[in-house]
Chains A and B, each alone.
Chain A
Amino acid sequence: MNETNPTPPQIPPNMPPPIASAPPISSYAPKPLGENPEERVPITSPIQAIEAILRQPRRVMYQLRQPGAGALMLYLMIIAILCAGVYGVIVGTFAGHDQLWIAPVKVAGGMLFSALICLPSLYIFACLSGSQARLAEIFGLVMGMLMLTTILLIGFAPVAWLFSQSTESPNWMGTLHLIFWFIAAIFGLRFVSNAFSHSHAKSNAGFNTWVVIFMLVVVQMTTALRPIVGTPPIAGATNTKEPFFPTTKKFFLSYWGDCLNVDSERSDRTR
């Protein structure tokens, strides 16, 4: 007979005692805006708006819901336009000359225009998701997103400037700027997403769909407003002035394809 016991004795394992200080699961749910007294302090200047969006984004979200949030929205918009303009100057330093004023106008105007044409669909998606946010609040959040994105772009500006002085490929520079914008936009969109979680939205599917639409619109805007980076003058070549707006209509994928062909031809010539 086999005397070995196939089942081990039922000894209760030594479970660690529950930690009294561990927070309950419910405490991980987002706290209501304005719970912290610091969030209720009004934002009265553009500098405070910059500090708040970087350090206390919940304060901006809360203040955007208050009556008389128009001044804050204006601050957010003006700072976004200024920061986009400054980054635009850095973009323009690659080609120099007229591009030093054309690029800031196009970068700031393009970003603002993209946000404005996508604003109605964001509001509709927000409502469809069950959010109770008003259109004015959504506008403020979009301006906050733009401001955060452009402030971060300013942070990338020294790196972008260094590359713009040491490379000759407009495609490379364009790609670099797009990567910087993409990284900055992630943070900007995260700000809006966090604000949505406080507006009783039942699902993020609508917002995520809108993010894809917004990204496509901005990328297409770079093609619609081309040239933004511009082409540096080649020594010995006749410098032809590029038009402010493109003369032909293209979708960004076909434009990118054309750019790659031109870049390879350009490198063949300089070889």
Chain B
Amino acid sequence: MQGEPANISASAPERLDTKPARLNLLLRGEVTSLEAWSAQWDSQRIISHIGIIVIGTGLYGAAMGWWRDPMQALYTAIKFPLIILLTATANAMLNAMLAPLLGLNIPFRQSFLAILMSFTIAGAILGSFAPIVAFVIWNAPPLASHTQDSGGTYSLILLTFVVIIAFAGITANFRLLQLLRHLGGARRNVAFRVLLAWLVGNLFFGSQLSWILRPFIGAPGLPVQFLREHAFKGNFYETIFRTFINLFRVH
């Protein structure tokens, strides 16, 4: 018995409605599909996007926190998706207003769903790297035994975390830029301006939220906690400012 030749492109439309196929389209950045998705409020699709964010970033967070303690893994698995979802929700109004002000006339729904889709891409990438990060942590000396000698290992693991998060963020924003360019038509720099404005707003809010929800990895000398005792005391930018001042203080 001989099978019929199956050309993937020919069989693709049959698979568009399945969840894996939707994730595939999202990751490939098929702007026509993404535009259609962002144009209508499909609750099932939104739930599946939120599900990918929760599972993907949750797994990655668990792998990060596991280095300190299994309980820290659980805490970070809860906090990491929270940051993403709260940032997307809290800035939704601002982002929806900024887009038309900067020349991209899209409704609230479309701006919110576009950002949610970019976070979904980041979540999927982070989730896919979670097993590798877990393997790296499994091979690393415990964080509790962090000494001067294990400084190289400590730095290498932190660098791994940062590189993967940066890769996920850059890829997700690149896909978002492609969608915005498609929505913006011929005015290509409008898309870039909108993306930049959204990024600034999301980073500003997200950084402070991360500061409040610290710790994510934990520190050897400090207890494992969901939130630090003085979580709402001080802010991220104030700390950066103080660190900067301390660097240049003349003793």
A217 at the interface (CB under 8 A from B): yes
**Contact string against A for B residues 121-138, beta-carbon threshold 8 Å, 1 for contact and 0 otherwise:** 000110111111011101
Contacting pair B5 A34 (CB below 8 A): yes
4 closest A-B pairs (Cβ-Cβ)? A34-B5, A127-B27, A120-B128, A117-B131
- Name B2's contact: one of A37, A121, A199, A251 (CB within 8 Å): A37
Which residue of B is nearest A255, CB measured?
B139
Contact B139 A65 (CB under 8 A): no
Q: A63 to nearest B CB, angstroms?
A: 8
Q: Using an 8 Å CB-CB cutoff, how does the interface string of B143-172 with A read, 1 for contact, 0 for none?
A: 000000000010010000000000000010
**A127:B2 contact, CB within 8 angstroms:** no
Q: B139 near A250 (CB under 8 angstroms)? A: yes
**What band does the interface of chain A fall in when counting residues whose beta carbon is under 8 Å from B?**
35 or more
Complex CA gap A133/B15 in Å reads: 11
| B8 sits at the interface (CB 8 A) | yes
Question: What 1/0 mask marks residues of chain B from 209 to 236 whose CB sits below 8 Å from any chain A CB?
Answer: 0000000000000000000000000000
Tell me if A249 is interfacial: C-beta within 8 Å of chain B. Answer: yes
How near does chain B come to A69, taking the closest CB pair, in angstroms?
Answer: 10
Q: How far is the CA of A123 from the CA of B124 in the complex (A)?
A: 10
Contact A130 B139 (CB under 8 A): no
5 A-B interface contacts by CB (under 8 A)? A41-B2, A62-B6, A120-B130, A120-B131, A134-B24
Q: How far is the CA of A124 from the CA of B20 in the complex (A)?
A: 11
**Contact surface of A with B, Cβ cutoff 8 Å:** 32-35, 37, 40-42, 62-63, 65-66, 116-118, 120-121, 123-124, 127-128, 130-135, 198-200, 213, 217, 220, 223-224, 248-251
Instruction: Say yes or no for B7: interface residue by CB 8 A criterion.
Output: yes
Given A121-B128, A123-B128, check contact A32 B5 (CB 8 Å): yes
Contact B12 A132, beta carbon cutoff 8 Å: yes
Question: Contacts A65-B8, A117-B131; is A224 near B139 (CB within 8 Å)?
Answer: yes
Q: A31–B14 Cα gap in the complex (Å)?
A: 23
Verify A199–B8 contact, CB threshold 8 A.
yes
Which residues of chain B have C-beta atoms less than 8 A from A213's C-beta? 132
Chain B residues whose C-beta falls within 8 Å of the C-beta of A121 in the assembled complex: 128-129, 132
Q: A127-B23, A224-B139 are in contact. List 4 more A-B contacts (CB 8 A).
A: A40-B3, A132-B24, A200-B9, A220-B136
How many A-B pairs have beta carbons closer than 8 Å: the answer is 93
CB within 8 Å for A217 and B140 given contacts A128-B27, A132-B8: no
A213 nearest in chain B by CB position:
B132
Cβ–Cβ contact B141 & A32, under 8 A: no
Of A116, A120, A200, A248, chain B has the most CB atoms within 10 Å of the CB of A120
Q: How far is the CB of A34 from chain B (nearest CB, A)?
A: 3
Minimum Cβ distance to chain A for residue B96 (Å): 28
A124, A128, A132: residue with the most chain B Cβ atoms closer than 10 Å: A124
A217-B20 contact, Cβ under 8 Å, with A65-B8, A249-B141: no
- Tell me the minimal C-beta distance from A186 to chain B in angstroms: 21
CB of B242 closer than 8 Å to a CB of A: no
The B interface, classified by DSSP as helix, strand, loop or mixed, is helix
Q: In the assembly, what is the distance between CA of A4 and CA of B241, in Å?
A: 80
The interface centre, meaning the residue of B24, B124, B142 with most chain A CB atoms within 10 A of its CB, is B24
Chain B residues, CB < 8 A from A33: 5-6
Determine if B249 is an interface residue (Cβ-Cβ < 8 Å): no
- Measured CB to CB, the nearest residue on chain A to B12 is A132
Q: Does B251 contact A (CB under 8 A)?
A: no
Given contacts A223-B139, A251-B156, contact A34 B132 (CB under 8 A): no
Which of A117, A135, A198 is in CB contact (< 8 Å) with B135?
A: A117
Q: Are A127 and B24 in contact (CB under 8 A)?
A: yes
Which residues of chain B have C-beta atoms less than 8 A from A200's C-beta? Answer: 8-9
Q: Mark B168-182, 1 if CB is under 8 A from A, else 0.
A: 000100000000000
Residues of B within 8 A of A63 (CB): 3
B130 → chain A, closest Cβ, in Å? 8
Chain B residues near A127 (CB-CB < 8 A): 23-24, 27-28
Task: Please indicate the chain B residues that have their CB under 8 angstroms from the CB of A40 in the complex.
Answer: 2-5
Cβ contact within 8 Å between A249 and B5: no
Instruction: Given A121-B128, A128-B171, A135-B20, verify A217-B135 contact (CB < 8 Å).
Output: yes
**CB <8 Å contact, B12 and A42:** no
Q: How far is the CA of A265 from the CA of B1 in the complex (A)?
A: 64
Query: Shortest Cβ distance from B167 into chain A, in angstroms?
Result: 9
Contacts of B139 in A (CB 8 A): 220, 223-224, 249-251
